[in-house]
């Protein structure tokens, strides 16, 4: 069966987006589809597969999110913006909508053709920890939680990511964190905040992470490392803006419609 899809990206996070209201794929089928379709060069390639699904808790639709390794994630900030645009363009929602996620309800707004804003899941935990003599911040969004580690790193913009990978992997699998965590490095340089995120599920650095960037903005605001609000963040895939209102976080950025097509069965075959 050929599967209709849209390829989208937000700040360099790229996604294969499906309408599961029509497809009615089961969880194991969506997981397998993500593992097959997200392979770069061998298939469409993406950071993750997202699906619009039937709402269950009063939202306009439900977000299903599967990482490239097939694991289901609670939510994705950049993905939520793209899914909001998908729902609007496909006439599944109006310019203001509510997305159901595993981590809770996420309101979203269309600001222009390709700029969307989402209210991320509230900050539910903030802790200051120490890891190998480094101060790190632990932030959880939503319930069940989206876990993030936030750590300062001087000269980040010029740093080769390969030099950060070992530290990122240690933090991602830190024994103090049963679920693991996404790892966000940041550097405040004047009016610019540089962010680099190592994402669990992808198991590598990505061009952007919306909830990770928002966690950085929250830490900077709470610890008074920046005065600006909204906080402008520079990620590998572009620019993001986060407005911090105590534990409420509003993420604004692009939601780009790249292409529409059909996934063939061959696109989902496991790599030989």
Task: Give me the catalytic one of 209, 214, 242, 263.
Answer: 209
Which residue in 16, 73, 76, 208 is the catalytic one? 76
Known active-site residue 209? yes
Residue 68, token pair as written in the block? 């490239």
CA 214 – CA 210 distance, rounded (Å):
6
- Half-sphere exposure in the Cβ direction for 146 (13 Å, CA): 27
CA 245 to chain centre: 20
Strand partners, 109: 96, 117
Q: Which two tokens stand for residue 105?
A: 């309800």
Look-up of token digits 């993030």: 148
CA pair distance 37, 263, nearest whole angstrom: 8
CB under 8 Å to 51, separation ≥6 — which residues? Answer: 17, 18, 19, 20, 23, 25, 30, 63, 64, 65, 66
Report the candidate in 127, 117, 148 with the shortest Cα–Cα distance to residue 216: 148
d(CA 107, CA 121): 9
Residue 85 to residue 256: CA distance in whole angstroms: 8
Q: What are phi and psi of 146, to 5 degrees?
A: -100, 110
> Residues at the annotated binding site for substrate?
13, 67, 77-78, 182, 199-200, 210-211
Sign for the CA dihedral angle at 99, 88, 91, 27 comes to negative
Burial class (CB in 10 A: 0-12, 13-18, 19+), 132: exposed
Mind telling me the catalytic residues?
A: 76, 209
């Amino acid at each position: 069966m050929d599967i209709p899809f849209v390829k989208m990206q937000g700040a360099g996070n790229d996604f294969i987006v499906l309408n599961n209201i029509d497809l009615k794929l089961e969880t194991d089928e969506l997981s397998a589809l993500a593992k097959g379709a997200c392979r770069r060069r061998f298939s469409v390639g993406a950071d993750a597969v997202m699906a619009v699904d039937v709402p269950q808790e009063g939202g306009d639709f439900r977000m299903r999110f599967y990482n490239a390794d097939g694991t289901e994630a609670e939510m994705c900030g950049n993905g939520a913006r793209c899914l909001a645009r998908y729902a609007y363009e496909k006439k599944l929602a109006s310019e203001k909508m509510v997305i159901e996620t595993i981590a809770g309800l996420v309101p979203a707004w269309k600001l222009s053709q390709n700029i969307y804003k989402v209210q991320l899941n509230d900050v539910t935990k903030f802790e200051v920890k120490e890891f190998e003599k480094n101060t790190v911040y632990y932030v959880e969004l939503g319930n069940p939680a989206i876990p993030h580690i936030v750590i300062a790193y001087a000269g980040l913009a010029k740093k080769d990511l390969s030099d950060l990978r070992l530290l990122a992997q240690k933090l991602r699998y830190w024994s103090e964190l049963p679920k693991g965590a996404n790892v966000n490095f940041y550097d405040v340089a004047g009016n610019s905040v540089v962010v680099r995120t190592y994402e669990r599920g992808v198991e590598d650095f990505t061009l952007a992470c919306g909830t990770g960037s928002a966690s950085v903005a929250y830490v900077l605001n709470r610890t008074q490392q920046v005065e600006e609000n909204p906080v402008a963040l520079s990620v590998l895939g572009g620019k993001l803006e986060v407005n911090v209102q105590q534990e409420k976080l509003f993420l604004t950025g692009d939601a780009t419609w790249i292409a529409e097509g059909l996934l063939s069965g061959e696109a989902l075959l496991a790599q030989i």
